[in-house]
């Protein structure tokens, strides 16, 4: 897909992978609108020339606010990048079940609702795209993040089914599967983290090349292992 002059709605675009994608898409001539929860970061993005919409996508109210702010304006590309993690490890004590709700909504419900509400706008274009950012953990889960892994696996399944539904339309459906990336979410993890700008570069390249999947960095290895032996992939990842 040619990105010049394309109108992009990028959720979670004020920090981490999203912010890097915003800059790279802008450099290619796209008109990028970002969303986020932190007003200070959003203000910084506005200062740098981006349109920024405040939206907490961990609830239905946040999705409704974003849809209302967007209105009927043109849309070529929707990138569902916003997401959050949650502590849910019984080895560390009893988890707070209520705390998982925001993670589930932000990572799974919100993309589904945004796609449902915005698909008519995308369908007006000669060429459009939906990019759902999942995770290598959608392929095989790690023991320490069961709720996060479940949401990303759910979004992966949704993306695959949606791609089949839209195969005869102008809308391309792309899944991006990052590895562990150096962002605020992974600040407490040491070593082995991909720089956010490189992760963003590979996702943007997949969008330009109309690839169905962007298996980023070490996810390529995990995908290959899983293709050969799903049981082995699960066994390796569940150690963490």
Residues forming the active site: 148
C-alpha pair distances (Å), 200 with each of 1, 63, 132, 143, 168: 16, 24, 13, 26, 28
What is the CA angle 39-83-36, rounded to 5? Answer: 15
Contacts by 110-113, CB closer than 8 A, 24 or more apart: 110/11, 110/57, 110/58, 110/62, 110/63, 110/80, 110/82, 111/80, 111/155, 111/158, 112/158, 113/60, 113/63
What is the CA angle 32-195-238, rounded to 5? Answer: 110
Contacts by 208-215, CB closer than 8 A, 24 or more apart: 208/1, 208/2, 208/3, 208/28, 210/1, 210/129, 210/172, 210/174, 211/174, 212/163, 212/173, 212/174, 212/175, 213/174, 213/175, 213/176, 213/177, 214/174, 214/175, 214/176, 214/177, 215/136, 215/177
Three-state DSSP at 10 gives strand
């Amino acid at each position: 897909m040619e990105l010049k002059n394309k109108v992009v709605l990028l959720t979670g675009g004020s920090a981490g992978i999203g912010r890097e994608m915003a800059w790279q898409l802008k450099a290619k001539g796209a008109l990028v609108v970002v969303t986020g929860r932190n007003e200070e970061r959003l203000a910084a993005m506005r200062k740098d020339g981006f349109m920024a919409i405040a939206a907490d996508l961990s609830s239905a109210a946040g999705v409704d606010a974003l849809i209302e702010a967007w209105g009927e304006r043109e849309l070529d590309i929707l990138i569902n990048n916003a997401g959050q993690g949650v502590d849910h490890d019984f080895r560390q004590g009893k988890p707070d079940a209520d705390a998982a709700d925001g993670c589930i909504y932000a990572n799974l419900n919100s993309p589904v609702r945004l796609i449902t509400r915005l698909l008519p706008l995308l369908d007006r274009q000669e060429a459009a795209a939906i990019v759902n950012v999942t995770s290598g953990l959608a392929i095989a889960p790690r023991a320490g993040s069961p709720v996060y892994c479940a949401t990303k696996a759910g979004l992966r399944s949704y993306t695959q089914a949606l791609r089949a539904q839209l195969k005869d339309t102008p809308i391309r459906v792309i899944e991006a599967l990052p590895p562990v990336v150096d962002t605020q979410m992974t600040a407490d993890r040491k070593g082995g983290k991909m720089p956010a700008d490189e992760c963003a570069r590979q996702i943007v390249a997949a969008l330009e090349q109309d690839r169905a999947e962007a298996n980023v960095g070490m996810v390529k290895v995990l995908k290959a292992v899983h293709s050969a032996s799903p049981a082995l992939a699960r066994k390796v990842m569940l150690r963490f």
